[in-house]
Amino acid sequence: MLFSNIFLALGPWQIVLIVVVVLLLFGGKKIPELMRGLGSGIKEFKDASKEDTDDEATEE
C-alpha cells in the first residue's frame, strides 16, 4: 500500500530527474531503440490477450 502511494506522489521535478538519469545511463541514441522494443512488446501483449479472449468466446 505504501509503495503505490510513493509513485502517485511523483511531481514534475521527480519525473524530470528520472528522465535525466535514464538519458545519462542509456544515452540519446539508445532511447529510441528501447522505446521501439517497449512498444512492440506492448503490441504483442495486447494482440495475445485479444486472441485469448477470442478463443474463450468461441469455446462457449
Question: Residue 7 has what pLDDT?
Answer: 61
In tens, the pLDDT along 29-57 reads: 888 888 899 899 999 999 888 876 766 66
Residue with cell 539508445: 30
Question: Residue 40 has what pLDDT?
Answer: 94
- CA–CA separation, 21 vs 6, rounded Å? 18
Q: Is-contact 47 39, C-beta < 8 A?
A: no
